[in-house]
Structure 1
Amino acid sequence: MAITPEDSGQDDVLGERRHLVSLAFRMLGTVADAEDAVQETYIRWYRMSDQERAAIEVPRAWLTKAASRICLNVLASAHHRREVYVGPWLPEPVPPLAFATPSEGAGDPLDRVTLDESVSSALLVVLESMTPAERVAFVLHDVFAMPFDEIAKIVGRSAAACRQLAVSARRRVQRSRGRRSTHAEHEEVVKAFSAAARAGDIAGLVSMLDPDVVLRSDGGGVVTAARNPVFGREKVARFLVGALHKRPGSTVIEQETPDGTGFALWEDGRIYGIVTLDVAQGVVVDVRMMMNPYKLTLWN
């Protein structure tokens, strides 16, 4: 249905797009999926009659509930999509510019996501381990401060059950946060890590990796990437150096991300990879390499 300027309250309703994409991104983990969910939300809004829309006292609340239900349905089907995905699936990393408020001049589409830990790759990975209902309850309550009685209407459970879902989700998040290093330690380790990677210093990389480190590389079947996670510091170090050696024209540059400092892989004036890391007790414990160009569009 075409949207015309005569639609009652159109500007106010379309002004909620920032809020809706912000919410959907945290629930679904990619900008494309978030945009699709928001588009479907607006389709449902404009399919209603003028009288039905006029009867809705708080459009933001209606849109939030509709978008959340759509995300819940998408999450329910996501397990199958992950099974057929080529290689490890990682949430989409988003650049710092994406988090600026409209008054700070950020561009469409992700001027609508707030810069905080709730959009970090590390947290989104934890959210991926939750049930759809847990994830929705956590995002709506802990990130967007929605009351449990309202969440209950979205997930189809009692308010008490939704509270328990959020508690369970929060425990998972707290466990993942518990072992992380301070911001200063993270910065120090990552800068040394990127310098060793640039120099092809395998021994140096090994010294900064946890013995049980895991590297996941998401190419989505579009570009070359590791089809399976890489375990252990020797294998991870050699994989990183080998990957850079295969692209002699590439450059490793430190890059700010919602996960703290990571690094960007540049070639021919474009970013072809974003690497985010988790640091604990002075060593890197997780390496996430986003190589899928469809999840890097905001970086270029």
Structure 2
Amino acid sequence: MTDQLSEVFEAQRDRLRAVAYRMLGSHADAEDVVQEAWIRLACQDATAIDNLAGWLTTVVGRLSLDLLRSRRAHPESEYGLVVTPADEPAPDEQAMLADAVGVALLVVLDSLTPSERLAFVLHDTFGVPFQEIGQILGKSADATKMIASRARRKVRATDRPAGPGREHRQVVEAFRAAALAGDFEALLRVLHPNVKLTVDTPGGMIVTIGATEVAAGARRFSGEVAGHRPVLLSGRPGHISLRADGTPLSAVSFDVADGRITAIHIITDPAKLAALD
């Protein structure tokens, strides 16, 4: 019976993972939620479950909702940083950009409350009936329909950030080359005068504002870097900086506007680097 149940669950795994990822914005968290759903299923009498797919969707929805609410209670935690390789061959570029658009939608979904996000994702993306969603939220089908409608209005009213274009990546590459060469003037040319640098360290956040200060720091920091791997970090162009032994030194992402870098986000905290999705 266990083998048969496992086979049925595996047939649902991709869909459940997609539900959890749309809810949570993190592949790692989605995998954890799906695995927890399997553990709970294994502890149930499966013969008493009339609709296994619906039961699993409900469990994944409830687990995701609990995690979303936990994030709201602890907003200082880091979640949902999605890393997408950016050094693939040209034919794969469209797939990379499509993934960035998906990340952009996740950014919009972050503006919703956990209940709104659940109702919107399950109904509008996966076609789950409002009655079943209401059971997860502890609300009537009509109340759930109103929650989904409110979420839909918020999504439509929010401008989705576009995925980075080729020109953005060129600006980032120019910054990287200037930093490695120690070219202070070239760094100033690609930095906005009021550029904001945020560094996430084990001891907390360090913020620097101003092109001169940021350029000086970039030259100093570049001396520790042995290599880079271009990536998208939650839809932003950036790179993983590597030590000589190949381990990550930092994850860097950039905000670019009008051909200049307006913000730089650097993660140097080893614990957060190890958790990159």
Identify the TM-score tier after normalising by the shorter chain. 0.7 to 0.9
Q: 2:127 aligns with which of 125, 134, 146?
A: 146
Q: CA separation of 1:35/1:291 partners in 2, compared to 1, >3 Å: closer, same or farther? A: farther
State the alpha-carbon separation in 2 of the partners of residues 181 and 92 from structure 1. 15
Distance 1:181 1:46 in 2: 41
Larger Rg, first or second structure (1 or 2): 2
Q: Give RMSD over aligned pairs.
A: 3.5
3-state SS of paired residue (1:91): coil
**1:207-218 equivalences in 2 (<5 Å):** 207-218=189-200
Match of 1:167 in 2: 153
**C-alpha distance in structure 2 between counterparts of 1:291 and 1:115, whole Å:** 28
Partner of 1:108: none
The question of 1:47 aligning with 2:30 is answered no
Percent of aligned positions with the same letter in both sequences?
A: 31
Q: Distance in 2 between matches of 1:24 and 1:218?
A: 27
Which whole-Å CA distance do the structure 1 matches of 2:234 and 2:186 have between them? 26
Other-structure match for 2:54: 61
Letter in 2 for 1:52: A
Return the alpha-carbon distance in structure 1 between the equivalents of residues 209 and 119 of structure 2. 33
Instruction: Give the deviation of 1:168 after TM superposition.
Output: 0.8
Question: Is contact 2:164–2:235 with CA below 8 Å preserved after alignment?
Answer: no
Contact 1:209–1:285 (CA<8 Å) still a contact in 2?
Answer: yes
User: 1:4 and 2:14 equivalent?
Assistant: no
Distance in 1 between the 2:127 and 2:198 partners? 34
Mapping 1:68-79, distance limit 5 Å:
68-79=61-72
Distance 1:44 1:138 in 2: 25
Q: Amino acid of the residue matched to residue 69 of structure 2?
A: A
Cα shift at 1:255: 3.5
Q: CA deviation at 1:68?
A: 1.8
User: How far off is 1:159 after superposition?
Assistant: 0.7
Greater alpha carbon shift after TM alignment, 163-172 vs 284-293 = 284-293
* Deviation string, structure 1 residues 103-153 (Cα, Å, up to 9, x no partner): xxxxxxxxxxx9623553x655554444222333444456x3435725444
Structure 2 residue 244 is matched with structure 1 residue 244: no
Amino acid at match of 1:70: L
**8 A Cα contact 1:275 1:290, kept in partner:** yes
| Distance apart, 1:52 and its partner CA | 1.8
Give the drift of 1:266: 0.9
Q: 1:184 aligns with which of 156, 162, 166?
A: 166
Matching of residue 264 in structure 1 with residue 240 in structure 2: yes
How many residue pairs are counted as aligned between the two chains? 261
Deviation by residue 1:254-286 (Cα, 9 ceiling, x = unmatched) = 345662642220111223323222322222233
For structure 2, the residue ranges without an aligned partner over 5 or more in a row are 87-96
Letter in 2 for 1:286: A
Structure 1 gaps of 5+ residues are 98-113
Q: Give distance in 1, aligned partners of 2:217 and 2:81.
A: 22
Matched-pair contact (CA < 8 Å) for 1:255–1:262: yes
In the alignment, the residues of structure 1 paired with residue 129 and residue 212 of structure 2 have an alpha-carbon distance, to the nearest angstrom, of 47
Change (3 A) 1:197 1:19: farther
Give the TM-score normalised by structure 1: 0.70
Deviates more, 1:17-26 or 1:33-42: 17-26
Paired residues of 1:116 and 1:258 also in contact (CA < 8 A): no
Distance in structure 1 (CA, Å) of the matches to 2:191 and 2:156: 28
What residue identity is the alignment partner of 2:47?
Q
- Judging changes above 3 Å, is the alpha-carbon distance between structure 1 residues 153 and 198 closer, same or farther for their aligned structure 2 residues? farther
Which residue is 1:100 aligned to? none
Q: Does 1:278 align with 2:255?
A: yes
Q: How many Å separate the matches in 1 of 2:197 and 2:236?
A: 17
Q: Is structure 2 residue 34 aligned with structure 1 residue 38?
A: yes
Where 1:227 maps in the other structure, the secondary structure is strand
When normalised by structure 2's length, the TM-score is 0.74
CA distance in 2, matches of 1:16, 1:181: 30
| Alignment partners' CA distance in 2, 1:153 and 1:30 | 25
Asked if structure 2 preserves the Cα contact closer than 8 Å seen for 1:25 and 1:31, the reply is yes
- What letter matches 2:73 in structure 1? H
Deviation, 1:71, is 1.1
Cα distance in 1 for partners of 2:133, 2:75 equals: 26
